[in-house]
Amino acid sequence: MCKIIIWGHGKYYAYKMPYLAKQGYHIVGIVGNRIEKEAIDGYPVIDKKEIQKIDYDKIVIMSERFMFEILDEIVELGIAVDKVVLGANLAPATESEMEYISNNASLNLSRDGTIMWNHDKVVKSMADIEKIKKINRGYISERVIRELPIKPLSYNYGISRGGHSIARYYIDKFVEEQKKYIRGTVMEVGDARYTKWGGQNVKKSLVLVLGDGDGEKYVKGDLETGEGLEKETLDCFILTNVFSSLFNINEAIKNVGESLKKGGKAIITVPGIAALCRAQYETYGQFWRFTPSSIERLLKEHIPDAKMKIRLYGNVKTSIAFLYGMTIEDLGQEELNYLDSNYPMVIGVFLEK
């Protein structure tokens, strides 16, 4: 059980208290300015000059508005920064904190006592935090919404505009991160676009196709029926946005699992937020969109002993841009790389059997 000292005792403290209790924190005392009581909620009030005499693990700064001033006082007392926890990072987030604290972005303390946002932006005051909020929140007027066109710039993810698909950018990024696992006997669906990234590590390249392919590497088959797949033969199976076009997804996942050797890897991406592409819809069908929990549950159910890691890509801005048929050329690197897990456009899964 973590023994903590709470620094701060107002409404903010009251709002966060239920979380502290549920997480099993043991409060040994409360510090604050102008406290005339000897105890608050049954916890003793501690003089800040006496902190060094107390047996505790962490000090929690229980204030958003005055966190910078409190941190300065703590540092002046000679207390190590690694003993400090910022209440802003503790659930439940206040309405104000929701604008800059999330699963993917938080405030972090460096060794010298500097507060960083998302590990790369220095914040020295509430004014800096307000700037971050403004950048994140932005401003969309009613007029802007009303003037948005009802038709997209492109119906095929921006390819008709000569650009590069935002979703494909994320898919490429995920596969690149798993490139070292593209080795041995590798199967891909439709073409060998990513198999080639394995270079000389690939000993045998197989491409699963519905029809007849021109060459030895092409295997006529069907993921839903298992046709063309041999059990426990693949070192790596690459499936980028394949499952969304398979109606019988349960059988398809089961067949993928059976085709992998023990220790075999699967590099999988599925769409989260996406429009229907008419060409793909009419040719192969598009049946599913996924959430992180849905694809994880499906994979665990049909490949039960596999290890998995899941990566998410996208945010509200890139999702809107993607739906409108904009491309990566229309966006900046910072916009593309920012992750908001509430808006997963592409979900990547690395699986090891």
| 262 pLDDT above the threshold of 90 | yes
In the chain, the DSSP E strands lie at: 3-7, 26-31, 39-40, 43-44, 58-61, 84-86, 107-109, 115-117, 121-123, 184-189, 202-209, 218-220, 234-240, 260-271, 307-313, 346-352
What is the rounded distance in angstroms from the CA atom of residue 312 to the CA atom of residue 271? 10
Full DSSP string of 102-139: SSS--EEE-TTS-EEETTTEEE-SHHHHHHHHHHHH--
Q: What is the pLDDT of residue 303?
A: 97
- Asked if the domains 3-137 and 159-352 are classified in one and the same CATH topology, the answer is yes
Q: What is the pLDDT of residue 213?
A: 66
| Element spanning 174, H or E | helix 166-177
The per-residue pLDDT of the chain, averaged, comes to 91
- The CATH-assigned architecture of domain 3-137 is 3-Layer(aba) Sandwich (3.40)
Q: What is the pLDDT of residue 139?
A: 67
Cβ neighbourhood burial of 36 (10 Å; 0-12, 13-18, 19+): exposed
CATH number of 159-352: 3.40.50.150
The candidate with the shortest Cα–Cα distance to 200, out of 179, 221, 222, is 179
**Paired strand residues for 227:** 222
Mean pLDDT of 226-253: 96
3-class DSSP assignment, residue 235: strand
Triad 327, 331, 333: Cα angle to 5°? 120
What ranges do the domains of the chain cover?
3-137, 159-352
Of the listed ranges 101-105, 144-148, 218-222, 252-256, the one predicted with least confidence: 101-105
Task: Express each pLDDT in 49-107 by its tens digit.
Answer: 899 889 999 999 999 999 999 999 999 999 999 999 999 988 888 888 888 887 778 89
| 119 pLDDT above the threshold of 90 | no
CA atoms within 13 A on the CB side of 253: 24
The pTM (predicted TM-score) of the whole model is 0.68
| 2 pLDDT above the threshold of 70 | yes
> Residue type at 62?
M
Contact status, residue 132 vs residue 117, Cβ threshold 8 Å: yes
Q: Give the list of residues 6+ apart from residue 182 with CB closer than 8 angstroms, or none.
A: 194, 195, 197, 198, 201, 202, 236, 238, 267
Task: Express each pLDDT in 283-332 by its tens digit.
Answer: 778 999 999 999 999 999 999 999 999 999 999 999 999 999 999 999 99
- The share of the chain scoring above pLDDT 70, in percent, equals 98
Mean pLDDT of 203-217: 84
Contact status, residue 286 vs residue 304, Cβ threshold 8 Å: no
Neighbouring C-beta atoms of residue 284, cutoff 10 Å: 15
| 138 pLDDT above the threshold of 70 | no
